Amino acid sequence: MYGWHNKLLRVNLTDQKVSIEDIDPQVSKDYIGGRGVAMRYLFNEVDPQVDPFAPENKLIFATGPLTATPAPTGNRYMVITKSPLSGALTNSNSGGDFPTWMKRTGFDIFIFEGKAEKPVYVWVNEDQVEIRSAEHLWGKDTHATTDIILEETDPKAKVACIGPAGENLVLMAAIMNDKHRAAARSGVGAVMGSKNLKAVVCQGDKNTRMYDEAGMKQLSVKISKEVGADIKKGSSLREYGTAYVPAVTNELGILPTRNLQTGVFEGVDKINGPALRDQFLISHKPCYRCPIACGRLTEVDVPGYEGKGEGPEYETLAAIGSSCGIDNLAAITKANYYCNELGLDTISIGMTIACAMEMYEKEIIPEGDIGQPLRFGDADAMIAMVQKTAYREGFGDTLALGSYRMAEKYGHPELAVTARKQEFPGYDPRGAQGMGLLYATSNIGASHMEGDLAYSEVFGVPEKIDPLSTDRKPELIMRFEDAFALIDAAGLCVFLSVRYVFDKDVMLWPTRLTELMNLTTGAGYTPAEILTAAERIYNLERIFLIAAGSGSNDDTLPYRMLHEPLTEGPAKGRVVDLHVMLPRFYQVRGWDENGVPTPEKLQALGLA
Amino acid sequence: MMSMKVMVKLFASYRKLLPAESVNGKFEVELPPGATLADLMSRYQVPLTEDSVFLINGLTPAGLDQELFDGDTVAAFSAMAGG
């Protein structure tokens, strides 16, 4: 087998039984790997109406055929399950080191099903798989958990685990790997916690076999050299990490500020890349086999906020920073460390706290319920809320529900800035129309990673398009959604992929990605076939969503986005013109006017 | 002839192109009337290729030959994957 091991590890936590299965090579070929093959299994085995916390829900970890190959950034894994936050799917993705170690166990995919009676962790050492007690780890944060597990298993192994947030079924709980990297969105950590699964540890030497090893190495080196040459010219990601972004989105007037009441933040210079570099940066940090090195190793020595770790990333600076009206970078960075240690999604917790701040200031939430004031700009209150949420203490028990259910509880669901009950990422779509269409139609609720047209609307990759126009956005969002599904299925990182393995045209034709896939797997794909595979993945997800009750009824955005125009900045006066883009999006997708894939579309994709 | 004042912001990796007098990544310049985006950017060695992203008052310029006016804010940064 080339590229894919075509082996699956199934762990039944109820029966404490482990089994090894073959993956049908045709399934791998048709669904690429990673997110695609995982979705095929989820669709086959899980009722779309399942309660996400029921033992019948399955938690799937998935690598791709390019994971653990010389491909630059060939080191990503996905977590696929039904989300307790959104009731939709999850496509949680992470880098670090763990993905490569997982692929080297000799399995492409892990499926965790059922529920353990008592906390356990799973130690995967190639074919030797043990389900071990984690009772001594329950309650510990992700860093302590990782250290203890490595001592008990193999110091050179790699760990993915949950912290107190996942254990307490906080709806925005993340799965942390390598201590500082997160499969963060959609409550995947809570699903893991609901199964009493504390951690997964991986070690092995089963490298990915390649069909044309020499060819693969040659192309990989070529791509790495191109990246290197660009970095020499000057790389914002290498120099500043994703922290360079607040100045850019602020200039466009789309930096989420005070729960997206505006898109311009007066404190942006204090939370921007240069501020992080000047005050807290130790060095850049790459994931395994990445030439870009966008990661940040940081340390804060400001009294009251001391800590060391990785980040913060842009999304954190937006959600915990500007969206909470906070410009205290030391506090934001400390909160970021807490989120990594406790296992929380920084986007959802930040945006949920922002929503609570707005409701507090509007006297919708009484101070007595919170136990203290919670105003925009109060960094210490924000940190207190982060900690309380992980432990469901006091008002943290309400925050743990996410902003939509919290706002609904207080009679104002329209103040939650979510799609499918999942909190928005760091781009106000009133000033980036394509992102509005993306948030409304993504199969996981509001997310930038499901087809990040911000690459073009904001960052000019592969080419700059006008964020304020709705022209072509339906076609572009479809293509970006499929392209990102492809990247998630193949096992690469988007930071490399969009620029270096797709053609330099905004329609993202996957010429070089196809080459990498063929050199690795020998599958003989054409670029058209590989894009069709992506469309197949996307439509399979959509069918599941519709069966779960989340079809066109949920293809929408909050009232603020549709009816409250921005009052300042370049996008002043704009709302998201979703009604202009959505019907045409259904058309280009080959769906009917109710957003349901037509029989012809399903047949063409082999999904009929 | 009345010259015009334009604010310039160079973000992230383009900060290395900032002149000495810039503060917090921005500076003001005086330009002759009729000066274009290309005129201004080439003064500071900002690449006029698709490697660069330009904004005039936060909006997408029609082209490199777009004329600038008194009080405009021009921003430039390298086209690079985001966050």
Asked if A235's CB is within 8 angstroms of B80's CB, the reply is yes
First-residue to last-residue Cα distance in chain B: 44
Do A324 and A261 meet the contact criterion of CB atoms below 8 Å apart? no
- Which residue of chain B comes nearest to A466, CA vs CA? B60
Cα distance between residue A28 and residue A33, in whole Å: 6
CB atoms within 10 A of CB A50: 15
Rg for chain B, CA atoms, rounded: 12
Is residue A282 exposed (0-12), middle (13-18) or buried (19+ Cβ within 10 Å)? exposed
pLDDT at position A541 is: 98
Contact B59 A458 (CB under 8 A): no
Q: Give the separation between CA A586 and CA A577, rounded to whole angstroms.
A: 15
pTM: 0.97
Distance from CA of B39 to the nearest CA of A (A): 20
- Judgement on whether residues A322 and A439 belong to the same structural domain of the protein: no
Structure confidence at residue B42 (pLDDT): 96
pLDDT one-digit tens code per residue, A579-600: 999 999 999 999 999 999 999 9
Q: Which two tokens stand for residue A219?
A: 């192309």
Q: Are residues A317 and A192 in the same domain?
A: no
Confidence label for A188 from pLDDT (cuts 50, 70 and 90): very high
Residues A125 and A191 both lie in one domain: yes
* Spatial distance between the Cα atoms of A335 and A238, rounded to a whole number of angstroms: 23
**Residue A545: closest CA among A83, A130, A132:** A83
pLDDT higher than 90, residue A152: yes
**Could you check whether the bond before residue A25 is cis, i.e. omega within 30 degrees of 0?**
no
Q: In terms of Cα–Cα distance, which of A158, A110, A164 is closest to A141?
A: A164
| Closest chain A residue to B16, measured at CA | A234
Are A163 and A343 in contact by the 8 Å Cβ rule? The answer is yes
Query: Across-strand partners of A295?
Result: A285
- Contact by Cβ (8 Å): A144, A374: no
Amino acid letter, residue A7 = K
DSSP reduced 3-state for A425: coil
Per-residue pLDDT band at A1 (split at 50, 70, 90): confident
| Burial class of residue A189, CB neighbours in 10 A (0-12, 13-18, 19+) | buried
Tell me the average pLDDT across A539-559.
Answer: 98
A347, A352, A358, A360: CA torsion to nearest 10: -140
Chain A residue numbers with beta carbons less than 8 Å from the beta carbon of B60 are: 464-468
Distance CA A74, CA A208 (A): 11
Do A256 and A263 meet the contact criterion of CB atoms below 8 Å apart?
yes
Residue B25 sits at φ, ψ, to 5 deg, of: 80, 10
Q: What burial class does residue A12 get, using C-beta atoms within 10 Å of its C-beta: 0-12 exposed, 13-18 middle, 19+ buried?
A: middle
How far lies A88's CA from each of A82, A185, A577, in Å? 6, 12, 24
In a domain, A234, yes or no: no
The per-residue pLDDT for A233 is: 85
User: Which residues of A lie closer than 8 Å to B, measured between beta carbons?
Assistant: 233-237, 239-240, 242-245, 247-248, 251-253, 269, 273-274, 313-315, 426, 452, 454-455, 458-461, 463-468, 494-496, 498-499, 569-571
Residues A374 and A262 in one domain: yes
Please, how many CA atoms are within 13 Å of residue A220, restricted to the half-sphere of its CB? 25
pLDDT in tens, A407-441: 999 999 999 999 999 999 999 999 999 999 999 99
A175: exposed, middle or buried (Cβ count in 10 Å: 0-12, 13-18, 19+): buried
A373 shares a domain with A313: yes
**Domain presence at residue A367:** yes
Strands A120-125 and A197-203: parallel
Q: Is the pLDDT of residue B82 over 70?
A: no
A195-233 pLDDT tens trace:
999 999 999 999 999 999 999 999 999 999 999 998 888
Give yes or no: residues A343 and A410 share one domain.
Answer: yes
Instruction: Please check whether residues A360 and A429 belong to one and the same domain.
Output: no
User: What pLDDT is stored for residue B2 in this prediction?
Assistant: 78
Decide if A237 and B81 are in contact by the 8 Å CB cutoff: yes
Total domain count, chain A: 3
Among the listed residues A125, A52, A123, A113, the one whose alpha carbon sits nearest the alpha carbon of residue A87: A52
CA distance A555 to A86: 13
Sequence-separated (6 or more) residues with CB below 8 Å from residue A558: A414, A416, A417, A418, A419
Beta bridge partners of B6: B29
Name the residue range of residue A258's domain.
241-416
β-strand partners of A197 = A120
CATH number of the domain that A596 lies in?
A: 1.10.599.10
Tell me whether residue A427 is in a domain: yes
Strand A109-113 to A120-125 pairing: unpaired
Structure confidence at residue A235 as a pLDDT band (50, 70, 90): confident
CATH of domain B4-78: 3.10.20.30
| Rounded CA separation A552/A544 (Å) | 13
Strand pairing report for A175-177 and A120-125: unpaired
- For chain B, the structural domain boundaries read 4-78
| Distance to chain A for B3, nearest Cα, Å | 25
Chain B residues near any Cβ of chain A (below 8 Å): 9, 11-16, 24-25, 50-53, 55, 57-60, 75, 77-83
pLDDT above 70: residue A607? yes
Cα A311 from Cα A303, distance rounded (Å): 19
Per DSSP, the three-state class of A136 is coil
Are the C-beta atoms of residues A103 and A63 closer than 8 Å to each other? yes
In Å, how far is B1's CA from the nearest CA of chain A?
30
Q: Of A398, A416, A434, at which residue does a domain stop? A: A416
Last residue of a domain, one of A203, A228, A254: A203
Distance from CA of B2 to the nearest CA of A (A): 27
Q: What does the pLDDT average to over A277-285?
A: 96
CA-based nearest residue to A254, from A571, A478, A605, A555: A571
pLDDT, position B1: 59
Residues A490-527: pLDDT tens digits?
Answer: 999 999 999 999 998 889 999 999 999 999 999 999 99
- Contacts of residue B75 in chain A, CB cutoff 8 Å? 251
| Mean pLDDT value across residues A545-561 | 98
Asked if residue A77 is part of any domain, the answer here is: yes
Among partner residues A252, A460, A495, which is closest to B58 by beta-carbon distance?
Answer: A252
The answer on A102 and A158 residing in a single domain is yes
Is the predicted pLDDT of residue A460 greater than 70, yes or no? yes
Q: Which of A187, A203, A219 is the last residue of a domain?
A: A203
| Crossing angle (nearest 10°) for helices A473-490 and A578-589 | 60
The pLDDT of residue A544: 98
**pLDDT over threshold 70, residue A14:** yes
Same domain flag for A447 and A410: no
Q: How confident is the model at residue B83 (pLDDT cuts 50, 70, 90)?
A: low
User: Which residue out of B7, B8, B11 would a mutagenesis test of the A interface target, given it has the greatest number of A Cβ atoms within 10 Å?
Assistant: B11
Which segments of B1-83 does DSSP mark as H helices, in order? 37-43
B58–A251 CB contact, under 8 Å: yes
Q: Quick one: which of A314, A178, A346 has its CA closest to A237? A: A314
Same domain, A18 and A115: yes
CB spacing of A452 vs B79 below 8 angstroms? no
Q: Is A402 left (phi over 0), alpha (psi -120 to 50) or beta?
A: left
Flag if A463 and B50 touch (Cβ within 8 Å): yes
Q: How far apart are CA A150 and CA A147, in angstroms?
A: 5
**Closest by Cβ to B25, choosing from A239, A274, A459:** A274
Q: Which CATH number does the domain housing residue A376 bear?
A: 1.10.569.10
A456 and A405 in a single domain? The answer is no
Contact list in A for residue B10 (CB cut-off 8 A) is none
Quick one: average pLDDT of A292-319? 97
Average pLDDT rounded to a whole number, residues A348-371? 98
The predicted pLDDT at position B54 comes to 97
**A313 neighbourhood in chain B, CB within 8 Å:** 83
**What is the secondary structure of A329-372 as a DSSP string?**
HHHHHHHHHHHHHHTB-HHHHHHHHHHHHHHHHTTSS-HHHHTS
Q: Are residues A389 and A446 in the same domain?
A: no
Mean pLDDT score of chain A = 97
Cα separation, A185 vs A266, in Å, equals 28
Q: Do B80 and A569 touch (CB under 8 A)?
A: no
